[in-house]
Structure 1
Amino acid sequence: MTLHKNRNGKALVTTGFLLLFLLPVAAQTMEDTTLHKVTVRSENTKYIKTDNVIALRQIAMPTAVIDGKTIAMMGSRRLDEVMREQTGLAVVSDLGAGNRSVGLQMQGFSSEYIMVLIDGQPLAGRNSGNLDLSRISISNIDRIEIIKGASSSLYGSDALGGVVNIITRQFSDHAQVRVGSQYGTYRTWNNTLEGESPLFKNKGAVFFSGNFYRTDGFNVNPYLEKGSQTAPPYSSPSLWLRGRYQLTPQKTLHISARYSGRSSEMTRDYGVMPFLDVLHETDFNGMVALSNRLNNNTRIIGRYYLTRYTSKQHIKLLNGSHNTQTDEFQEYVHRVEWQAARDVWDNRLGLIGGAGGEYMALNSRTSGASGHMYNYYVYAQANYKPLANLEMIAGGRYDGNNLYGGKANPSVGVNYSPLRWLTLRAALGMGYKSPDYKQLYQVFTNITRGYTVVGANVFSESVKELQAVGIVQQLWPIAATVKPLEAETSVSYNTGFTIKPASCIDVNLNLFYNRINNLINYQQVGIKTNGAELYTYVNVANAYTKGLETGVTLRPAKGLTITAGYQLLYAKDPGVIDSIKNGHTRYATVRSSPNIRASTIADYFGLPNRSRHMANVQVFYEIQPWGLNCSVRANYRGKYGFLDTDNNGFIDPYDVFVNGYVLLNASLQKRLLHDKVTLQFSIDNIANYTDYLMPAQPGRIIMAGLIWKCFEQDKK
């Protein structure tokens, strides 16, 4: 393991720290600066963060907000259920993790390029790049902020494709306690206890939320034997605690802590080698922050953040054999950060800056997967409004890594409203991401399926050891090209407009183009003597995603909101296209069974797991006099490539596809007893659509429950 020194990077970090404290910087900065963004609902609300100076309206890239009221009207219980209904977002299963992990795609970027945050701090514990959204309860969520496109300049190197920031409740003007319980299909229980209260004559506040979720799991694969499941039964407790206290008129202390766990156990039987798969996970996040308001225009925040994720998976064959596999994994992240912001020139110029570092450690029983690395960074951004209808954004970030050195990533954007009802926007951002330890050093064998994954940086010596013990039957020519991985970089372009011809109509359109260099790809490079695959990781020269998103929001009557969205996506590897043109051996043919013919560019469908077309329609209706809320939603996802069956290196028309489908959902809430009690009823997947190629998509789920405000003080 080599430490790459970068003197220029360290000098830039030192300069950044000096600038951070020489620039008196900001509290309410951009919170008062109006940027016109693509929002889902509540677009006029000022989303203030008390422990973070980065506001959504400072972002150059397209953004969206899902507020707490919308989430409640959807009747959702876990984060993945909310995200799968949003325009341009796709939730995908990780088959290698036993179908437990469901990750998120955005603008064609896969899950490993999407940063998921809680109150601005990153979560840990990814499986094959997927951060499992289903392990996050939606209780205590005030809103979800979504940023589409490269956002590394403010959020860090993992945000090449976008950011999902979950904001928990931060303000309370009266004390209340809420108890909720839902029960339904698959013996699913969802129980929640939430509360909040101001303290010390409104100098402080405390918020808490506890949730317990359990389900029996389900099976959507007809090829599995009776009693087997594609999604396991599991139970998941979680606890959130957040508080703040105003030490002085200028200084406020913030603390937060979150714990969640999940235990699952499932049996799988294809009639050949039944096995038991048991997994236990824990996830802890904690933060302490001190906010210092120097004056009306200036705030500085210092904060420390810790996250710890652990998992223990045990697989046991059920045919009497003692052959088992145990995989234990722990991941720690320690982060220290300083932020500052300031508004000057009568709030026409907003400045924001920050600097920090993080230490990441991984411990695993898996060969080669343990180690540590650290990152350091500095960033700055300016939002300038030379005219009331024109805003220009320019920023940059330098990320450094002890293994891969560092790189500067700029971002620029502009928002211009030539007419009262028209806003034009454009943004450019760059991103940088270093490989993780598993991609570099892991040597892992899945006992139930027999395949082996070898990290790229230990590939040569590890494969020689496997050959020496007679495990490798054949290495393909591509194995000779495997070399140590390089860091990935990206550039993201977004441009579009928003039209508001009337107060009840919003129309938006966004065109995007993203290009990734040195894309890290999961690649088969040989066959083992047991017939299973031998995999490693390689850098692909480049890949791109491009397309458009459009949406319309209508409010034709009081309490009625109708939204519709559509995404067109092309996601391809130009290297494959060039190789087909040049007749490269690997990409030269397609198997149109039973014949084999020469491949053409038209045969190349694109990167796997990406749908060309996605759309949704949502209707929300609130009848205040009746205390009634209801919603009906439809989500369409077009067909997408699933498996390259002829191993010619790309998805062609004769490979395996997941067919296009529509999911219909509905929910109803009725308030009773002066809003003290709310009855809930929801139906997800009304048409009961399933596909064995989508093992984490359940059939029809019917849930019913209630929320009881068992204690509520009058507002002051």
Structure 2
Amino acid sequence: VTGRVTDRESGDRLAGANIYIAGTRVGTASDAEGHFTLEIPERLRGKFRLVASYVGSHDRTRPLALPLDRDVTVDFALAPSQLYMDQIVVTGTRTERFLKDTPVTTQVIKSREIAESGSNNIADVIQEVTGVTIEQHDRFGSVTDLQGFDSNHILFLVNGIKVIGRLNGQFDISQIPAADIERIEIVKGATSAIYGSQAMGGVINIITRKPRHRLQLNGNLKIGSYRRINSGLTASLPIGAWSSKLFLGLRRFGGFDLDASDPFEDGSRFQKYNASLQAAGPVGNAAQVSGELSYFNERQKRILNNVFEAQTTNNRGEFKLSAKADSLLPISVKANLEYSLYRHEYGQIVRSSGFYKASDPTDNGYLLTEFLAHKTLGKHALNAGYSLEHETIRSRRVVNQFQQSVLQSLFIQDEYKLSAALTLLAGARYDHHSIYGQQLSPKISFMFSPWHTGRIRFGYGRGFRAPAFKELFLDFYVSDVNLTLKGNPDLKPEQSDALNLDYEYWNNNNYHVRLNLFYNQITEMISDVRVPGQGLTYTYKNFEKVKTWGGEWDMDFFPTDWLELKMGYRYMDSWVSTTGQALSGKLKHKGHTSLMFSLPHHIKWNIRALFYGPRYDYYIDDATGELSDKIKIPSYVLIHSNLSYRTPWHVKLILGVRNLTDYVKKFWGPMPGREWYAGFSFNY
């Protein structure tokens, strides 16, 4: 029996699919092109059932009656599974695990969901995940929130490697395009035990598509309101035993102005360019090597008043090299090397003359050398790692115009199968930092599997966030308003203790339900404060204690082959020691629901609604230290919809709308009104 296995939705050839005769051990696997050949033993000739299976897809069975004197060709087009419990994930334990078997609660967004959402960037995608909030900021871009932790306390990874380029501690996740993403893994709660600083609130790991060992060309183009253009092109090329991939992306946005009566422009105009080149292949018979070069350029402009226009420029270049050997030594080993450079520059343009007045640029450098090891001993799955990180900042706004730090880290982790139904995961990480000293971060998790399709997980973790360079060494004077900003070299790391209790249950074909309860206590919180008796002079201090707690519920339900329903809700409350109030600007209530229809003739339509509950913003009076007036930010609902049609010529046509209700938010993160878009994608 010969044939080929493909994905029914995309038409992609599926490499490594299993093809076997039901009830026997006779089987084979598809090659890189999805082709397979299976020899049928004499004793089985006649009637039998041939099964094709692939991770993340529904099995397909074909009954056959094979004459003795003739070969047959059987092709399988496997439908993607709506549930991803057999999806391989890596973020929660830093080793490959099926999603259903990882002891650390992990949420996954697949490329199919990204494509069908019509999202422009990663920020648009993850804001529809239960428990994740994205806020648009006029200076910091798309700011992420997990369980009350903003992006200052969240570690962002691309293919498992840290991404640099934060502004005042905030990382703009919209810098990453959605076009080249394979999946996104989200782990909430303190994960400093394996990732160190910045992971006290959680980890978001964006995993791009791997190079394919065949000639392949993918592309997309989308044009929308506000002069928006989103485009991407991916080309894969085999080179001997190696695979390579080139990605090019361009995004443009024309900005928006919500009030024509003033000269101020609410939404920035921007253009963003992304480029990456990846290669992967074997070195000898024992090791696999992969490398990547990537570049990002962004320029934003926004009118400030009748005289000036602001311009922000960001550039980031990265080089990554990874080598993995499973059979060279008695243990599986992996080595990672990364070198990144990031430059941020803010300036103002005189609108009448075009004269550009640049502020002082900030240059960040980051070098990582990392070694990981894995060994399975009976019921123990042992992991250990060592890393050396060197980070620099060069700016006229920091003391001596240059600062650097060296961090050495060691972690160890044991995943112990206590019984068929109970797994224990315990680990700790030791960090030695050249500025703030030593840090120990333990973590322990239990996973109880009372049923084949049910999991109960409980975890405790200690997290921390090291003070940023500018919090330690800022030295800046704003002459226009007589304002002085100074860092504090005596700052200590922020600390957090996190508890998570998670229950999930699923049926392989119909539904998935998850309930998560969380509690976080943060001490030594770093905040900016006014220095008494020194006019408008501000510095940073460890003085706040913060608590956050709440629950999350989400459900995926597939009543028929043509309908998918998703729902989710999060409640979160918080307390700040200095004010006795909840955290300023944080949502207590957030919910979402979506309907996806798979219609005849390869037509898909979805409609998605997001609910944002009311919240309160307040400020502390600098002179008195008292709480200022509370400002209520009212609740609102956003509705998005996307329609797609896959033609017989490997081209998909797209039409959609974001913010269907035309909700406009001018303050606390400007938001434009309704946005229409249309486009296409292709896969050859």
Q: TM-score, normalised by structure 1?
A: 0.79
Deviation at 1:456, TM superposition (A): 2.6
Deviation at 1:197, TM superposition (A): 3.5
Secondary structure, aligned partner of 2:418: strand
**1: CA distance, partners of 2:540 / 2:499:** 27
Which residue of the partner structure matches residue 300 of structure 2? 264
Amino acid corresponding to residue 134 of structure 1 in structure 2: S
Which residue of the partner structure matches residue 380 of structure 2? 349
Structure 1 residue 99 corresponds to structure 2 residue 139:
yes
**2: CA distance, partners of 1:43 / 1:451:** 54
Which residue of the partner structure matches residue 195 of structure 1? 235
Secondary structure, aligned partner of 2:365: strand
| 8 A Cα contact 1:56 1:63, kept in partner | no
Deviation at 1:43, TM superposition (A): 2.5
**1: CA distance, partners of 2:429 / 2:82:** 29
| 8 A Cα contact 2:453 2:505, kept in partner | yes
Q: Which residue, out of 146, 153, 156, partners 2:193?
A: 153
Deviation at 1:447, TM superposition (A): 7.1
Deviation at 1:668, TM superposition (A): 1.2
Q: Which residue, out of 246, 253, 258, partners 2:289?
A: 253
Which residue of the partner structure matches residue 585 of structure 1? none
Structure 1 residue 406 corresponds to structure 2 residue 443:
no
Using a 3 Å threshold, how does the CA distance of structure 1 residues 53 and 242 change in structure 2: closer, same or farther?
farther
Q: Which residue, out of 348, 370, 379, partners 2:411?
A: 379
Using a 3 Å threshold, how does the CA distance of structure 1 residues 324 and 524 change in structure 2: closer, same or farther?
farther
Which residue of the partner structure matches residue 608 of structure 1? 584
Instruction: Name whichever of 396-405 and 84-93 sits farther off.
Output: 84-93
Q: Which residue, out of 663, 673, 677, partners 2:648?
A: 673
| 8 A Cα contact 1:179 1:708, kept in partner | yes
Q: Which runs of 5+ in 2 are unaligned?
A: 1-54, 56-80
Instruction: Name whichever of 324-333 and 400-409 sits farther off.
Output: 324-333
Deviation at 1:405, TM superposition (A): 1.0
Deviation at 1:694, TM superposition (A): 3.4
**2: CA distance, partners of 1:621 / 1:68:** 17
Using a 3 Å threshold, how does the CA distance of structure 1 residues 627 and 298 change in structure 2: closer, same or farther?
farther
**1: CA distance, partners of 2:354 / 2:225:** 35
Structure holding more helix per residue? 1
Using a 3 Å threshold, how does the CA distance of structure 1 residues 116 and 208 change in structure 2: closer, same or farther?
same
Question: What are the superposed Cα offsets for residues 20-75 of structure 1, whole Å, 9 maximum, x if unpaired?
Answer: xxxxxxxxxxxx9xxxxxx99522223479xx746585865421000101100101
Amino acid corresponding to residue 84 of structure 2 in structure 1: S
Q: How does 1:437-586 map to 2 (within 5 A)?
A: 437-445=469-477, 451-457=483-489, 484-500=490-506, 503-525=509-531, 534-577=537-580
**2: CA distance, partners of 1:565 / 1:448:** 48
Deviation at 1:391, TM superposition (A): 1.1
Deviation at 1:329, TM superposition (A): 0.7
**2: CA distance, partners of 1:650 / 1:555:** 52
Secondary structure, aligned partner of 1:440: helix
**2: CA distance, partners of 1:445 / 1:559:** 61
**1: CA distance, partners of 2:126 / 2:204:** 10
Deviation at 1:267, TM superposition (A): 1.2
Which residue of the partner structure matches residue 644 of structure 1? 619
Secondary structure, aligned partner of 2:326: strand
Which residue of the partner structure matches residue 82 of structure 1? 125
Structure 1 residue 225 corresponds to structure 2 residue 231:
no
Structure 1 residue 303 corresponds to structure 2 residue 336:
yes
Using a 3 Å threshold, how does the CA distance of structure 1 residues 550 and 447 change in structure 2: closer, same or farther?
farther
| 8 A Cα contact 2:665 2:672, kept in partner | no
Q: Which residue, out of 411, 415, 423, partners 2:447?
A: 415
Question: What are the superposed Cα offsets for residues 172-229 of structure 1, whole Å, 9 maximum, x if unpaired?
Answer: 35421022211111111112111224442xx321122100111111123x38724x31
Structure 1 residue 434 corresponds to structure 2 residue 466:
yes
Which residue of the partner structure matches residue 326 of structure 2? 293
Amino acid corresponding to residue 519 of structure 1 in structure 2: M
Q: How does 1:110-259 map to 2 (within 5 A)?
A: 110-170=150-210, 172=212, 174-200=214-240, 203-220=241-258, 222=259, 225-226=262-263, 228-259=264-295
Secondary structure, aligned partner of 1:81: helix
**1: CA distance, partners of 2:658 / 2:533:** 42
| 8 A Cα contact 2:579 2:627, kept in partner | no
**2: CA distance, partners of 1:528 / 1:266:** 34
**1: CA distance, partners of 2:601 / 2:479:** 58
Amino acid corresponding to residue 485 of structure 2 in structure 1: V
Using a 3 Å threshold, how does the CA distance of structure 1 residues 66 and 525 change in structure 2: closer, same or farther?
same
Deviation at 1:244, TM superposition (A): 0.6
Using a 3 Å threshold, how does the CA distance of structure 1 residues 667 and 573 change in structure 2: closer, same or farther?
same
Question: What are the superposed Cα offsets for residues 324-358 of structure 1, whole Å, 9 maximum, x if unpaired?
Answer: 5612011000000001112232xx32111110110
Deviation at 1:506, TM superposition (A): 1.6
Question: What are the superposed Cα offsets for residues 115-145 of structure 1, whole Å, 9 maximum, x if unpaired?
Answer: 0010111111111211011211112110000
Deviation at 1:502, TM superposition (A): 7.4
Amino acid corresponding to residue 435 of structure 1 in structure 2: P
| 8 A Cα contact 2:213 2:236, kept in partner | no
Amino acid corresponding to residue 290 of structure 2 in structure 1: H
Asked which structure has the greater RCO (Cα within 8 Å, sep 6+), the reply is 1
**2: CA distance, partners of 1:73 / 1:297:** 44
Secondary structure, aligned partner of 1:553: strand
| 8 A Cα contact 1:677 1:706, kept in partner | yes
Amino acid corresponding to residue 256 of structure 1 in structure 2: E
Secondary structure, aligned partner of 1:73: helix
- Structure 1 vs Structure 2: percent identity of aligned residues? 23
Q: Which runs of 5+ in 1 are unaligned?
A: 1-31, 33-38, 458-483, 578-603
**1: CA distance, partners of 2:482 / 2:589:** 35
**2: CA distance, partners of 1:152 / 1:705:** 41
Secondary structure, aligned partner of 2:342: strand
Instruction: Name whichever of 625-634 and 440-449 sits farther off.
Output: 440-449
Q: Which residue, out of 282, 286, 310, partners 1:277?
A: 310
Amino acid corresponding to residue 601 of structure 2 in structure 1: W
Which residue of the partner structure matches residue 72 of structure 2? none
Q: Which residue, out of 348, 360, 366, partners 1:315?
A: 348
Which residue of the partner structure matches residue 68 of structure 1? 111
**2: CA distance, partners of 1:509 / 1:387:** 24
Secondary structure, aligned partner of 2:149: coil
| 8 A Cα contact 1:370 1:437, kept in partner | no
Deviation at 1:255, TM superposition (A): 0.3
Question: What are the superposed Cα offsets for residues 307-328 of structure 1, whole Å, 9 maximum, x if unpaired?
Answer: 1110221125669999956120
Secondary structure, aligned partner of 1:69: helix
Using a 3 Å threshold, how does the CA distance of structure 1 residues 683 and 296 change in structure 2: closer, same or farther?
farther
**2: CA distance, partners of 1:170 / 1:343:** 27
Using a 3 Å threshold, how does the CA distance of structure 1 residues 683 and 297 change in structure 2: closer, same or farther?
farther
Q: Matched residue pairs, number? A: 601
Deviation at 1:284, TM superposition (A): 1.2
Using a 3 Å threshold, how does the CA distance of structure 1 residues 523 and 296 change in structure 2: closer, same or farther?
same
Instruction: Name whichever of 504-513 and 314-323 sits farther off.
Output: 314-323
Structure 1 residue 697 corresponds to structure 2 residue 668:
no
Deviation at 1:385, TM superposition (A): 1.4
**1: CA distance, partners of 2:329 / 2:597:** 40
Deviation at 1:387, TM superposition (A): 1.9
Using a 3 Å threshold, how does the CA distance of structure 1 residues 237 and 78 change in structure 2: closer, same or farther?
same
